[in-house]
Amino acid sequence: MDERVREHAEVLVDWSARVAAGDDVVVSVAEDAHDLAVAVAAALGERGANVTTLYDSEEVSRAYLKGSESRDGDFESDPAVDLAVFEAADVYLRLGGGRNTTATADVPAPVRQAYATARQGVREARMGTDWVSTVHPTRSLAQQAGMAYEEYQEFAYDAILRDWETLAEEMAEMKRILDAGNEVRLVTERDDAPDTDISMSIAGRTAVNSAASVAYDSHNLPSGEVFTAPYDTEGEAFFDVPMTIEATRVRNVRLVFENGEVVDFAAETGEDALASVLDTDPGARRLGELGIGMNRGIDRFTDSILFDEKMGDTVHMAVGRAYDACLPQGATGNDSAVHVDLITDVSRNSRLEVDGEVVQRDGRFRWEDGFA
Amino acid sequence: MDERVREHAEVLVDWSARVAAGDDVVVSVAEDAHDLAVAVAAALGERGANVTTLYDSEEVSRAYLKGSESRDGDFESDPAVDLAVFEAADVYLRLGGGRNTTATADVPAPVRQAYATARQGVREARMGTDWVSTVHPTRSLAQQAGMAYEEYQEFAYDAILRDWETLAEEMAEMKRILDAGNEVRLVTERDDAPDTDISMSIAGRTAVNSAASVAYDSHNLPSGEVFTAPYDTEGEAFFDVPMTIEATRVRNVRLVFENGEVVDFAAETGEDALASVLDTDPGARRLGELGIGMNRGIDRFTDSILFDEKMGDTVHMAVGRAYDACLPQGATGNDSAVHVDLITDVSRNSRLEVDGEVVQRDGRFRWEDGFA
């Protein structure tokens, strides 16, 4: 076995999910994630955890959903077995990595939505576990990223096999600044792109040090971002990192906020997809997340939000739903059916301020060498 | 998709498992059974059943069991998730078909046994569902059978895609004869093999018309046998069909019974494996099953008990555990930790008698043309 696969499994089981003896662990295995599943099973056997493996095949899902069309996509609410699985589980490890990122492309959107809507309780039970989502680098993901397979493997393991403890300490510094702050402002001034000058309140909100571990309320591997739930957004921002929204490529998005809401928007490509997101519900026009990417193992965009939003020297903002972890106990933040991240490069001609003090300039944080 | 895969799925879902709308169906998918899983999911979607897919990978199992060796193979009894899955399921469909039939060859027997022993409750919950076990024809199974891949596919689909309704009617005739009978005698006299002359009581026992459907108490696809639970066996029998017992190839077994128990035995190859089976417990020296193979879609032995024991013109006897379905309500039959089938060719120089009347001679049943 590739030693990196074994290391990936050990980071996932020990650092990310904190699996202990006796834990009931559900592992879902995408079509091409077999090798990682083998390594994870070995680690779980060593730790004395129990394991149940689910087959998470997009082709199987497509067949089921297309089959259901003859019944007008009428799905039972929270079917008993799936609910029982996640109610009984302590830990859920999702091993992504299929063979075709567009395997469900011909399933009509209403069928997908009906299926998702019918499974809200299953989703809540799953979110109630110590869940972690990761991917095994596959040829299909390499293709999505426009990379050769071995090149993509190196990219993915650079992102995943970090010194998480050290990165968590560095990110704790950013969390302290955001937790103590009241207002964040991001300014970028570049010749080749529209300016960004956007401000938002973060008073009373708690930042998450997303250090790829449930111990940090962080559920992605890789991770490496600090995020919070802003409100009262004002100004305009330009997002230059291309991404895929609802299977549509979207590039160079511009959003204008007034009184916390998007009042104007544009995109060089994919503007219809962006409009559809913003029209979902009132919450879709407000920010739900501000995130600071701090994983410098990620050095390029690969059209995968799991990686892109954590890239060092980027900042992302999501329209839509806010995460509870950022809110005061019992409070409700921005609510929406969507949560769509938009990313901007801050490696040059940029500054991020908290309460008027520059925290990051041209990609350098104020505690780093080279910060001017 | 290969039309045969779609037909296989439909026979499995409709004839075998009798899936209805609203059923909670658990489908376990072996490493190379993906295509059949896709076809099964489509059928379940059309029927309006719920589906949960498990990944049944022998390599994942091996990794988990080998990992556990560092903890001396100490397994929790009936882990919560697996138990919950089968307690909540109405139907369990096992889609076999791995990539290597010897994928767990280096897992020590005590580790396997400890794992199996710890999961008795899970197994009982699984047996409490409407379960059906089938295989997707894979290259690995073709290799086990000593056949080319396409040749093996044709063999497997000939066995699986039968006119089950017609075969069930024919087998019902054999069931009537066995249910009404008190004693069965099998005699074979061949120049090239030791004689068989063995008698057993079946009074008070009920035969199962194993027509590959839960509606017939039959849980294998393919099936095509009628079996009962004999006792008070006397005489000797020769089993000329090679088979694999505990990973050992066993050929040309001879058993001698007195007062219902094996008092002498021999095997041309694999005698140690046979001895180990017979020494498991007292019940391992008594017959638990007499089966009449009636699936003429199976025309050769492929070293797979799922197919071999159902082959037309064969009779098999199993030492060890009897099936409850053959016993009067509440009665206990022969009990043992093992159930090992031994098969004999009855296509020539043979006769099967029930209460002194010949029911099958040289492979022809008495209701068939050519019965002399």
Q: How far is CA A42 from CA A6, A207, A279, B340, in A?
A: 9, 35, 47, 31
Separation CA A333–CA A283 (nearest Å) = 10
Contacts of A65 in chain B (CB under 8 A): 45
Question: Facing residues of A187 across strands?
Answer: A197, A351
Domains in chain B (CATH in brackets) are 3-160 (3.40.1830.10), 164-365 (no CATH)
Assigned token pair, A167: 């990165």
Number of CB pairs, chain A paired with chain B, less than 8 A apart = 150
* Overall average pLDDT of the A47-72 stretch: 95
pLDDT value at position A73? 67
Burial label for B300, CB within 10 Å (0-12, 13-18, 19+), is exposed
Check if the beta carbon of residue B50 is closer than 8 Å to that of residue A84: no
Separation CA A212–CA A165 (nearest Å) = 10
Count of alpha carbons within 13 angstroms of residue B70, beta-carbon side: 12
Check if the beta carbon of residue A262 is closer than 8 Å to that of residue A280: no
Q: What pLDDT digit, counting tens, does each position of A154-211 carry? A: 999 999 999 999 999 999 999 999 999 999 999 999 888 899 999 999 999 999 999 9
Question: Facing residues of B201 across strands?
Answer: B183, B231
DSSP tag of B322: P
| Residue to substitute from A66, A81, A100, A119, interface B, most B β-carbons within 10 A | A81
| Chain A nearest CA to B78, separation (Å) | 10
* Overall average pLDDT of the A258-273 stretch: 96
Burial label for A44, CB within 10 Å (0-12, 13-18, 19+), is buried
Contacts of B45 in chain A (CB under 8 A): 63-69, 71
Question: What is the model's pTM?
Answer: 0.92
Q: What is the DSSP string of A290-342?
A: EEEE-BTT--S--S-HHHHTTBTTEEEEEEEPPPGGGSPTT------S-EEEE
CA torsion sign for A243, A245, A248, A253 is negative
Residue A99 pLDDT more than 70? yes
Please tell me which residue of chain A has the smallest CA distance to B119: A50
| Chain A nearest CA to B367, separation (Å) | 43
ipTM confidence score? 0.91
| Residue to substitute from B26, B50, B54, B81, interface A, most A β-carbons within 10 A | B81
Q: How far is CA A238 from CA A192, A253, A295, in A?
A: 11, 6, 22
Instruction: List the one residue out of B178, B322, B282, B301 whose CA is nearest residue B239.
Output: B301
Question: Facing residues of B132 across strands?
Answer: B93
Residue type at A230 in one-letter notation = P
Burial label for A50, CB within 10 Å (0-12, 13-18, 19+), is buried
Contacts of B46 in chain A (CB under 8 A): 67-68, 70-71
Q: How many CB atoms lie within 10 A of CB A264?
A: 10
Contacts of A80 in chain B (CB under 8 A): 24, 50, 88-89
Contacts of B26 in chain A (CB under 8 A): 81
| Chain A nearest CA to B320, separation (Å) | 31
Contacts of A53 in chain B (CB under 8 A): 54-57, 60
Separation CA A318–CA A255 (nearest Å) = 11
Contacts of A76 in chain B (CB under 8 A): 22, 50
End-to-end CA distance of chain A: give it in Å, rounded: 46
Residue A243 pLDDT more than 70? yes
pLDDT value at position B92? 98
| Chain A nearest CA to B101, separation (Å) | 17
Phi and psi at residue B113, to the nearest 5°: -65, -40
User: Largest Cα–Cα distance in chain B?
Assistant: 64
Assigned token pair, B172: 């019902």
Based on C-alpha coordinates, what's the Rg of chain A? 20
Which portions of chain B are predicted below pLDDT 70?
Answer: 73
Nearest to B55 among A53, A83, A88 (CB): A53
Check if the beta carbon of residue B359 is closer than 8 Å to that of residue B366: yes
| Chain B nearest CA to A59, separation (Å) | 6
Nearest to A42 among B42, B52, B63 (CB): B63
Q: How many CB atoms lie within 10 A of CB B250?
A: 23
Question: Facing residues of A317 across strands?
Answer: A290, A342
Q: b/e per residue, A358-367, with b = 16+ CB within 10 A? A: bbbbebebbe
Nearest to B50 among A26, A42, A76 (CB): A76
Separation CA A207–CA A177 (nearest Å) = 9
DSSP tag of A370: T
Count of alpha carbons within 13 angstroms of residue B297, beta-carbon side: 21
Nearest to A67 among B46, B56, B66 (CB): B46
pLDDT value at position B107? 92
Count of alpha carbons within 13 angstroms of residue B6, beta-carbon side: 7
> Which segment, A90-94, A248-252, B107-111, is predicted with the most confidence on average?
A90-94
Mean pLDDT (chain A) is 95
Nearest to B60 among A38, A57, A83 (CB): A38
Nearest to A67 among B24, B41, B69 (CB): B41
Contacts of B67 in chain A (CB under 8 A): 41-46
Separation CA B44–CA A78 (nearest Å) = 16
Residue A29 pLDDT more than 70? yes
Residue A55 and residue B50: Cβ atoms within 8 Å? no
| Chain B nearest CA to A130, separation (Å) | 15
Please tell me which residue of chain A has the smallest CA distance to B70: A46
Separation CA A362–CA A347 (nearest Å) = 5
Residue B57 and residue A53: Cβ atoms within 8 Å? yes
Check if the beta carbon of residue B51 is closer than 8 Å to that of residue B37: no
Phi and psi at residue A37, to the nearest 5°: -60, -40
